[in-house]
Structure 1
Amino acid sequence: MSCPLLAPDLPQDAGEKLKKFLSKHPGVQVGGKSGAWRISGLPETLGPAVDELEKILGGPVLKEEDKQRIQYSRHTTSNGGAVMEGGATAGSTTGGNEEEDTCSICMDTFTNKKKIKCSHEFCEECLTQLVNSMGPICPLCKTVFGKMEGDQPDGTMSWIAHRHPLPGFPDCGSIVITYNIPSGTQMAKHPNPGQPHIGVIRAAYLPDNREGREVLQLLRRAFDQKLIFTVGTSRNTGGSDQVIWNDIEHKTYTYGGPLKFGYPDPGYLGRVREKLKAKGIE
């Protein structure tokens, strides 16, 4: 979904403020066709992003009708829809096919219409910008339509089998994964391109059974696609410009349960498979 920004109301230092804002909201994009300022992203990301952007810039950045379209500052009905003016509910059927010739990203007439795997259609330029900012994920149904690649710095992933069982898996040994991401220089997609980042060595554990070995191979694919780590601020130390875990859950301790990122945790393997599936890895 895409909405025009109220560009005339932006302060002189808006460019720098927008740059900092976008580094915190990778799922949101600012730009658009013909140089017009637009904000684009998934509906669930646009509302909070607009709220923060208005606080940063000290004033409204969207027209009221556009705020309604993204369900901004609206309460929800019992069926999960957002209450709109006139009593209509977002997500309800209004009849007709008014938007069948309109790109749902730029909300304009299609230019070089492209259809993706899930059959949704977008402008070629809008689709390119979407992939660059969010990866190949349909903004309407979240289907992955291409190979996702992250911004993980170069490094290595290795693993070894041990005889020692993990809590909750008494009938098999364990797999110890070692990730080694050396210190280096941040790239274009990182918070501070050209500046150094601090590397890490991390260990993670899986049961050495059929499902554990399958998850290992899925994690290997995710590592090859640069999705396991990123560069940012450490939640543990507060230090910036560090290699940190991305959003794929790992068990970094053999014991202590979920609160300690360890075992036993009966649902862990299923959760990590679902997370990887959402990234097109299954």
Structure 2
Amino acid sequence: MAIPSSYSRTEKSGDCVICLDKIQKKKTLKCLHSFCSDCIDSVFNLKPACPISTPSTECTPGPNQRAPWRCLEVGRVCQASNTPEHPNPGVRYSSTSRTAFLPANEEGEKVLRLLRKAFDRRLTFTIGRSATTGLNNVITWNDIHHKTSMGGGPQCFGYPDPEYLLRVQEELRIKGVTDDD
């Protein structure tokens, strides 16, 4: 599986592909990919594998193995003033970054293309009230669900969730994001 070009650009710039900021306390893996020490440690708590050196899509899991996964960079929103289309123009909000996971298979790749299209159209995030923290004027998901954990099921925003790929494609379709456009 090819590494998405956004990973290559981020890594070449000296940024950590996990947090998307300049690498802090650099840790380099055997595969020679480098990350912030804290970032890669948190990834390894979920899955002890480099998030860039992903398994090939030709690898198929055995009967007791998990499917290979891809880490999806869903973007970083820099701290800035709200623009007129936001709920509170002129009010500052903090930056954030999110990491999402998709299965490394044909349908996962299709969803990845659609999610990138949604992100490019500025449909992935909005400014509003966080359902998790209750804070106002923060970056929130914009009704396009992402799997931010590889485990724990839907209640932990993770897998297994057999209907997720169909459900997220329907959420994207409602927002006008399809393969046809």
TM-score of the pair, normalised by structure 2: 0.62
Whether 1:222 aligns to 2:118 is: yes
CA distance in 2, matches of 1:241, 1:161: 36
Could you tell me which of 44, 66, 72 is aligned with 1:177? Answer: 72
Q: Does 2:88 match 1:196?
A: no
Q: What SS is found at the alignment partner of 2:119?
A: helix
Taking only aligned residues, the RMSD between alpha carbons, in angstroms, comes to: 2.9
Query: In the TM superposition, what are the counterparts of 1:1-282 in structure 2 within 5 Å?
Result: 160=52, 162-163=54-55, 170=65, 172-178=67-73, 179-282=75-178
Question: For residue 138 of structure 2, what is the amino acid of its counterpart?
Answer: Q
Q: Which amino acid aligns with 1:280?
A: G
Query: Does the residue aligned with 2:76 lie in a helix, a strand or coil?
Result: strand
CA displacement at 1:275 relative to structure 2? 1.1
Gap regions ≥5 residues in structure 1: 1-157
* Inter-CA distance 234–161: structure 2 relative to 1 (3 Å threshold): farther
Distance 1:196 1:208, change over 3 A: same
Alpha carbons of 1:161 and 1:217: their partners in 2 closer, same or farther (altered >3 Å)? farther
CA shift for structure 1 position 162: 2.5
* Structure 2 SS opposite 1:253: coil
TM-score of the superposition, structure 1-length normalised? 0.41
CA contact (8 A) 1:181 1:199 kept: yes
Secondary structure at 2:90 match in 1: coil
How far is the alpha carbon of 1:172 from its aligned partner?
A: 3.9
Cα displacement (A) at 1:195:
1.5
Among the aligned pairs, what percent are the same residue?
42
How many correspondences in the alignment?
Answer: 126
C-alpha displacement at 1:177, in angstroms? 1.4
Preserved contact between residue 161 and residue 208 of structure 1 (Cα < 8 Å): no
**Which residue identity lines up with residue 218 of structure 1 in the other structure?**
L
Quick check: 1:228–1:248 contact (8 Å CA) kept in 2? Answer: yes
The separation in 2 between residues aligned to 1:161 and 1:229, in whole angstroms, is 27
Residue deviations 1:161-205 (CA, integer Å, cap 9, x gap): 623999xx9464211112211111101121210111111111100
Of the structure 1 ranges 187-196 and 243-252, higher mean CA displacement relative to structure 2 is found in 187-196
2:25 corresponds in structure 1 to none
Larger CA Rg, structure 1 vs 2? 1
Residues in 2 aligned to 1:160 and 1:200: alpha-carbon distance in whole angstroms: 21
Assess if the C-alpha contact under 8 Å between 1:163 and 1:172 holds in 2: no
Q: 1:227 to 1:170 in 2, by over 3 A?
A: farther
Amino acid paired to 1:266: P
Q: Over residues 240-261 of structure 1, what are the superposed CA-to-partner deviations in whole Å (9 max), with x where a residue is unaligned?
A: 1111111001101110001111
Change (3 A) 1:174 1:161: farther
- Which structure 1 residue ranges, 4+ long, deviate > 6 Å from structure 2? none
